[in-house]
Structure 1
């Protein structure tokens, strides 16, 4: 494949709805559920159930218009501030938050959450709580010193970043630079929860092939530690499906505590 035919997420964007349909829907042909839905939901429930990760505000910097990774968080944080690079992602997300006609259906993700957590009686309450927590969806610019200019965000007590660093980074230097930029939004002692794909070089959205940065477990753990963090938890799940839509080898989940500012 000619590299010139690849697109970059933060430059060219992607079809927000088709991305969700490919990788996060409940359609029978969607084969990624164990990796993209069940694995992160299980890990997040485990993380928050310890009671060590909680506070007033949580910042979400994640790929596309995904919300399932926030179901566990809404029980432990008063406010969830979501940052998005593209207007299409913001519109897709707000359509779901506001319960508008045509919004993407996340009911299957909510069911995974309550089933894994053993709280099936709270299914309806769960979606209500997530929506009420996500009242701030803000557009950001990665290249500005203050990404949310002119808005100045208060330091977060927790950051969740799911798959975004994979797609905005072109190499190791880029990944480390963006990780440090994200981590500056976090209070000392706060937690950074990182979800990513190992060994991924592309993923498809419709006919568009989106280029990504392929890294391994050793690289990302060193990047986090050198960024001033102590890793409290790290788990890798090997790929469980077969599909030509993307070439990732495994999912990685990291919880790290910010020890110092670099």
Structure 2
């Protein structure tokens, strides 16, 4: 299967509204929503206590322009920074931050809130609170092996990104090292991804992915200086023509050392 590189993802254009409707909206495909949205967010919320103290810095490096999951973490962090590899996603999130009329409709994606025990009432107020916590939206280059953020993270969220910016074991390890360089020693990586991806589409566009397994992930995490505290997997129960994979995974890992 073809794999994508970080350069491919950085340059790739896709319909943001189609992505949000297909993969972030419970009304469209409930089973996809349960697996792809609720599973990683529940895991992140269950393990946010691993961050040593509240009031620190959170970075988000996740696939696509959907950033309303960050509402869940507003109370834990003083500063939130959004890292985008994709130029079109960067512009979309900037439009959301500035409340521009042609910004992507992220509100539908916030329907996860009641499923996680949070009221979805006054969503606009919650969005404004999040906007106040977002200190920067930064174009990020994974090819940079040195930290390229204003201050290192107490916690970094990486949701469904590794499989889209890696093409083989070498690049998976390199990308994890690059991500780790932006996290404090003792800081937490909350990551999620897909084992053995076979298919991922957005509208009529096929998005190439790198298929890997748990053994490879664990090896690369260790070599990148992370100690996995928790790794939870979920076997796919969906039968879909738009996305196919064997398992989802979520990990909480401590950055223990420089590499």
Note if 1:225 corresponds to 2:213.
no
Residue 103 of structure 1 is matched in structure 2 by 103
Shift, 1:219, TM fit: 1.8
Contact 1:14 1:205 in 2 (8 A): yes
**CA distance in structure 2 between the aligned counterparts of 1:261 and 1:239, rounded to whole angstroms:** 35
Contact 2:111 2:120 in 1 (8 A): no
1:222 Cα offset (Å): 2.4
Q: Secondary structure at the match of 2:210?
A: coil
Distance in 2, matches of 1:89 and 1:145, equals 22
Partner residue in 2 for 1:158: 155
Match of 2:136 in 1: 136
Distance 1:196 1:38 in 2: 13
Unaligned 5+ segments in structure 1 are none
Asked whether the equivalents of residues 24 and 30 of structure 1 are also in contact (C-alpha less than 8 Å), the reply is no
Cα 1:225–1:134, aligned 2, differ >3 Å: closer, same or farther? Answer: same
**TM-aligned CA deviation for residue 146 of structure 1:** 5.1
Q: Which residue of 2 aligns with 1:120?
A: 119
Structure 1 position 197 matched with structure 2 position 194: yes
Give the one of 213, 218, 240 matched to 1:243: 240
Partner of 1:82: 82
* TM-score, normalising length: structure 1: 0.85
Shift of 1:54: 3.8
* Alignment check: 8 A CA contact 1:201 1:211 kept: no
CA RMSD of aligned residues (A): 2.7
Q: TM-score, normalised by structure 2?
A: 0.86
1:28 and 2:28 matched: yes
8 A Cα contact 1:114 1:122, kept in partner: no
Alpha carbons of structure 1 residues 236 and 29: separation in structure 2 relative to 1, 3 Å = closer
